[in-house]
Structures are given as structure tokens and as C-alpha cells.
Copies of this chain bind each other. A is one copy, B any other.
Amino acid sequence: MTADDALEDALVRTSFRVMAVLTRIGAEHDLSLTQLRLLGLLRDRRPRMTELATFLGLDKSTLSGLVERAERRGLVQRGKSPDDRRVVDVSITEAGSELANLLQAEVRAALTPFTDRLCTDDRRALTHLLDTLSGTATRTSTLPDGPL
């Protein structure tokens, strides 16, 4: 195995570890990973259905069901656009926003045992390396990434 393979394996292993944390915390609030991410995306955006589908990498028909279930729980709401009456804008509700804040705090707390294995300098170095890797540091695309 080359050194690069070792990095790729470490990325995959770490990602599954992080996903396990997100899945558990989501489940504790009756939220799937996708619903968790939906809530995270909506924290600072008010996209239309098609944009949401693109962000999440899902079909628009999937979004219909996803948003429908989140709306039924009072976490998000749909609004017709006045400009183009075909368009449906999705936004987070007050309740959804509060839940999103809580989730973020819980996720951060749950990851602390892992990040605490590194000293301050290493944490800073890792943050910078990950930001470089996933493009946050040099982003030019219009496709945003929320924290969730």
C-alpha cells in the first residue's frame, strides 16, 4: 500500500466514525442522516426544491417526501415563490432552527473525545489540512457546504 492509499483509507475510516456519531445523534432525535443534513443546510439558506436536491445529491422526487415529512413535524415550511409560481421555497421554522442548534452542539460535544486526542497545535494543523483538502480554504464554486 502506498502512502497515498494510507491517507485515503484514513479518510474513509474517519468519515465512517464521524457518520456513526451523526447517525446516533440524529436517531436520538428521530432524524435520519438526511434529515439532519437537510436541517443543517436550511440554517442559513432558503433554497427551492431543485436546489435542495442538487445540494443533497438526491432526486427532486425524493425531496418531496423528505420535505413533506419534515414539514409534518413542524421543522421546515414550504412557500410559493411570487415571481415564478412553479417554484417552492423551503425554509426552516423556529422549532427547526432550535433543533438544528441543539444538534450542532451535541455533534461537537460528541466529537470532542476524538479531537481531544490531539494537542492544540495538532488540532489547528488538522483543521487547516482538512479545509484545504475539502476546498473550504480555496472555494470558488457556488455550491455551499453547511457545517452539517
Contacts and interface: CB of A to CB of B under 8 A. Distances in A.
Given A57-B23, A117-B133, A132-B118, A127 B13 contact: no
Range of interface residues on A (Cβ < 8 Å): 35 or more
B7 A123 contact: yes
A14 B118 contact: no
A112 B133 CA distance: 10
A19 B14 CA distance: 11
A12 B126 contact: no
Interface string A19-59: 11011100000000000010000000000000000000100
B17 A57 contact: no
Interface string A121-148: 0111111011111111000000001011
A12 to B, nearest CB: 6
Nearest to A108: B8
A145 B17 CA distance: 9
Interface in A1-23: 3-20, 22-23
A95 interface: no
Interface of A: 3-20, 22-24, 37, 57, 107-108, 111-112, 114-115, 117-118, 120, 122-127, 129-136, 145, 147-148
6 pairs of A and B residues whose beta carbons are closest in the complex? A15-B18, A15-B15, A10-B130, A9-B147, A7-B127, A126-B129
